[in-house]
Structure 1
């Protein structure tokens, strides 16, 4: 039993180290944790099956690719200051009495503490971290969507989730995609797209939040055209050429200042 605990602790420490550094080599892990090459590969295999990291040649990465989405824990740590500034600006488009769809993205999570300043809001979401945090805000009426829970995204998807969304009509959808390219936003999985599309189709207005990491990667599936959104909010670290593209494509582009 003691040995199993040691292995689990080591694997947790390795995962944290990879998530903190983005990419590490096998040799680096051997030296850092004083373990054999075979043990490193065995631990990386386990962490990849758990969808915490991605094994690559001679190492491991927490960075997403066009077919691999990193765990919620990694994404939550990326650009946290920029996400907070984006969410602070996003709250200026909200008012008392609104009903809001919130998606499963880590970009939207920093919005939740700002909801305390409103006297009455209704939030509809399937994102577990959001649900837990919102339960601490008595002014917010919370509607929890069901479905099949996916640990990697800390959220629920599928027929039951989409069916519930289709029975609700909200004032605003607030979401964030995995990536943006040339006037469109993209996601990894069809289930994620189905839920977010249903939110967009069942709300009066919509807002997309994107920190600068969204413009540095590519993703497989089209979610929506940026022109579909009433408001687009980005941070000030987004490259100038991308800002110009967004100005041409968006109805209303807002830049959150650091």
Structure 2
């Protein structure tokens, strides 16, 4: 994998800003990007080429547009912009369950990605993940040993899946697995993509303790593929936006539910209100 493609996958710094702006505006002339980001034509062309190679944008004449898949609810770029404060609160509570010396598995979810900062403070620690972004974020931490799972790479999820991924993780022993779901309907967790479901199941199947990370907006919704019954998780962590009646129903059904408090200064989309 060449350096330019790796940088595009990481989507850090300026290129992430360019992509976010294109997603917000729908279609943006190249000249507007030049002025907004104070770039030379050589620099903007390099950035646009990297984003295009990653399958995130396309050029139509003088205009730049985001590909439909980037704004789809399943894509990591879409998900990373949803309920940020809620995910951060859930991630902090989840990380508090981890002890030095543990081997933990984290899936491709943006909630698991939010755990990176807290996990970097726990030493020593081994993290097993199929998330490229998470692996790159923790890879520079001297106290964390990162084991990346290979397989078929999906730029939409920024994650690896498929037979190689599943076989790799099933050869390991893991203390705790943290996975997320796209939806919870009744007492069942769902996800929209079967291949990603199988990768999550592989992480769960090798762990002594299974933890579901799911923000409150996902309850009482559904997706195509069944991930697991909530009873298969040792703990389900959500945020304090969950409907009290739904929370009561889960507890009555025997689900161990932990609720993370979200800062009252956070807006509906998870950004701090100034």
The residue that corresponds to 2:70 in the other structure is: 52
Aligned counterpart, 2:201: 197
211 and 250 in structure 1: CA distance in 2 versus 1, 3 angstrom threshold: farther
Cα distance in 1 between the residues matched to 2:201 and 2:149:
15
Q: Which residue of 2 aligns with 1:156?
A: 160
Q: Counterparts of 1:178 and 1:198 in 2: how far apart (Å)?
A: 17
Shift of 1:47: 1.8
**Distance (whole Å) between structure 1 residues aligned to residue 189 and residue 209 of structure 2:** 17
Q: Does 1:170 align with 2:190?
A: no
Is 1:124 the counterpart of 2:144 in the alignment?
Answer: no
1:93 equivalent in structure 2:
97
Aligned to 2:192: 188
Question: Residues 204-243 of structure 1: matches in 2 within 5 Å?
Answer: 204-215=208-219, 217-243=221-247
Q: Is 1:141 aligned to 2:161, yes or no?
A: no
SS in 2 for 1:207: strand
Normalised TM-score (structure 2) = 0.72
With the length of structure 1 as denominator, give the TM-score of the two structures. Answer: 0.76
Aligned residue for 1:15?
Answer: 23
Deviation at 1:177, TM superposition (A): 0.5
Q: Is the 8 A contact 1:178 1:185 kept in 2?
A: yes
Q: How far apart, CA to CA, are the structure 2 residues paired with 1:146 and 1:83?
A: 26
Match 2:77 to one of 73, 76, 79? 73
Match of 2:35 in 1: none
Instruction: Say how many residue pairs are matched.
Output: 214
Report Cα offsets for 1:137-184 as digits up to 9, x if no partner.
Answer: 111111010001000000011111001011011001001111101001
SS at match of 2:251: helix
Note if contact 1:96-1:119 (Cα within 8 Å) is conserved in structure 2: yes
Most deviating of 152-161 and 242-251:
242-251
Report the Cα offset of residue 117 of structure 1.
2.4
C-alpha RMSD of the superposition: 2.4
Question: Is this contact kept in 1: 2:185–2:220, CA < 8 A?
Answer: no
Q: 1:248 to 1:148 in 2, by over 3 A?
A: same
8 Å contact from structure 1 (residues 231, 251) kept in 2: yes
Q: 1:12 to 1:253 in 2, by over 3 A?
A: closer
In structure 1, stretches of 5+ residues that fail to align are 1-8, 19-25, 34-38, 54-61
